[in-house]
Amino acid sequence: MSDKTAYVRIPSFAMSNKRSIDSVLRVNHEKIIHTQNLIIDLRNNGGGSDDAYSALIPYLYTNPIRTVGLELLSTELNNAALLALSKDTLYDEKSRKEFKEIYDKLNLNLGKYVRVKENMISIDSMDRILPFPQKVAVLINEYCGSTTEQFLLEAKQSAKVKLYGKSTYGSLDISNMHHAISPSGEFQLWYCRSKSYRIPEMAIDNVGLQPDHYLDPSIHQKDWVGFVLENLK
């Protein structure tokens, strides 16, 4: 957008978009790591898969990222979703192996909530902090939810990152959407299979995540990028 600011727009973190997201970042990698500011526009991004945003994290990272885990309700129908993921080639081999391990663990505990990982809290570290970008602005609005909110929880832990816009949708505490078709085939039920250990101390559902810089109604959304550009100067 200028000699000091790069811009990337990601309308969805659907797993089917991961290769496109990774490709755009790979092609523009040298530009990004030699540019002072980065704007990540996530407006209207309703979520998808955590794997889809993994390539963004190195550009934001400044210190270890703490993530609060979750537990999954083990039922035959719910567990079948994990088995399907373990065979989905959109995911890499490591992820597919982890899905299969979780599936096996769940099947040993039918009817129970099962902790996905051994520890309730995971801490992810990287061996390098990129000197550029120095400032990262993330644009959010009321239609950002689910996986996008998980990304924001991670991004907010970076000293580089500030959120601009409006509070997010609030749909992360109860998550991992799945669907079931009725016997008649006329209805489809969508429901969630997991609950976060963050609740009730840090509930996000029906509340959302707050921006660091609230962009009030006097600033039209078409002018948000321009406003952030000025703010980053």
Sheet of 188-196: strand order equals 113-115, 70-73, 188-196, 174-181
Range 93-101 average pLDDT: 93
Give the tens place of pLDDT for each residue, 143-167.
Answer: 999 999 999 999 999 999 999 999 9
Q: What is the pLDDT of residues 170-190, one digit of tens each?
A: 999 999 999 899 999 999 999
Q: What are the domain boundaries of the chain?
A: 5-64+124-170+208-232
Q: What number of H helices and E strands is found in the chain?
A: 7, 11
H-only helix segments in the chain: 18-27, 29-32, 57-60, 76-85, 93-107, 147-155, 224-232
Asked whether the predicted pLDDT for residue 76 surpasses 90, the reply is yes
For residue 117, pLDDT over 90 is answered with no
Q: Where does the pLDDT of residue 138 fall: very low under 50, low under 70, confident under 90, or very high at 90 and above?
A: very high
**5-64+124-170+208-232: CATH number:** 3.90.226.10
Question: What is the percent of the chain where pLDDT is above 90?
Answer: 94
**pTM strictly above 0.85:** yes
Give the per-residue pLDDT at 233.
86
Q: For residue 210, give the DSSP letter.
A: P
Average pLDDT over residues 66-78: 95
- pLDDT reported for residue 116: 85
pLDDT by residue (tens digit) across 41-61?
A: 999 999 999 999 999 999 999
- At residue 226, φ and ψ (nearest 5 deg) are -60, -40
Q: How many CB atoms lie within 10 A of CB 197?
A: 14
In which band, very low, low, confident or very high, does the pLDDT at 118 lie, cut at 50, 70 and 90? confident
Q: Does the bond joining 200 to the residue before it have cis omega, within 30 degrees of 0?
A: yes
pLDDT at position 1 is 87
